[in-house]
Amino acid sequence: MTAPGTRTGEPSEDTDDLDVEEALALVRNPKADHGHGDRTSASPSEPAPRGERASDDRHHRATAWPRAREIAARAARSGTRRAPVSLPLGDALGLVLAASLDALTDLPSFDTSAMDGWAVAGPGPWVVRDEGVLAGHARPERLTDGEAVRIATGARIPADTTAVLRSEHGRTDGKGRLHSSRELGHGQDIRPRGQECRTGDQLLPVGTLITPAVLGLAAAAGYDTVTVVPRPRVEVLVLGDELLTEGLPREGLIRDALGPMLPSWLRALGAEVTAVRRLGDDAKALRKALTSSGADLIVTTGGTASGPVDHVHPTLARIGAELLVDGVKVRPGHPMLLARIRENQHLVGLPGNPLAAVSGLLTLAEPLLRTLAAHPAPEPYALPLRETVHGHPYDTRLIPVMLRGDGARPLHYNGPAMLRGIAAADALAVVPPGGARQGQEVELLDLPWAAAGIGVCFT
Q: How is the chain split into domains, by residue range?
A: 6-82+231-372, 85-100+206-229, 112-191
More confident: 351 or 54? 351
Higher pLDDT, 405 or 424: 424
pLDDT at 408: 96
Between 40 and 255, where is the model more confident? 255
111: left (phi over 0), alpha (psi -120 to 50) or beta: beta
Distance CA 318, CA 326 (A): 16
109-113, 256-260, 283-287, 365-369: which range is least confident on average?
Answer: 256-260
Return all residues near 357 (Cβ < 8 A) that are at least 6 apart.
258, 262, 301, 333, 350, 351
pLDDT at 127: 94
CA separation, residue 9 to residues 1, 300, 308, 313, 403 (Å): 8, 21, 19, 10, 44
Q: Give mean pLDDT, residues 288-312.
A: 92
Element of type H or E holding 172: strand 170-172
Say yes or no: do domains 6-82+231-372 and 112-191 share a fold.
no
340 pLDDT above the threshold of 70: yes
CA 193/CA 213 separation, integer angstroms: 21
Rounded Cα–Cα distance for residues 443 and 152 (Å): 52
Closest CA to 288 of 315, 258, 251: 315
- What pLDDT score was predicted for residue 59? 58
Q: What is the pLDDT of residue 205?
A: 97
CB atoms within 10 A of CB 64: 19
Percent of the chain clearing pLDDT 90 (strictly above) = 69
| Mean of pLDDT over the chain | 84
- Per-residue confidence at 79, pLDDT binned at 50, 70, 90? low
H or E element that contains 325 = strand 322-326
Range 226-253 average pLDDT: 88
- Closest-CA residue to 80 (of 22, 30, 120, 21): 21
> What superfamily in CATH does domain 6-82+231-372 come from?
MoaB/Mog-like domain (3.40.980.10)
Homologous superfamily of 112-191: Molybdopterin biosynthesis moea protein, domain 3. (2.170.190.11)
Query: ∠318-262-29 over CA atoms, to 5°?
Result: 80
Q: Residue 221 carries which DSSP code?
A: T
The total of other beta-carbon atoms located within 10 Å of residue 307's CB is: 18
β pairing state of 243-244 and 254-255: parallel
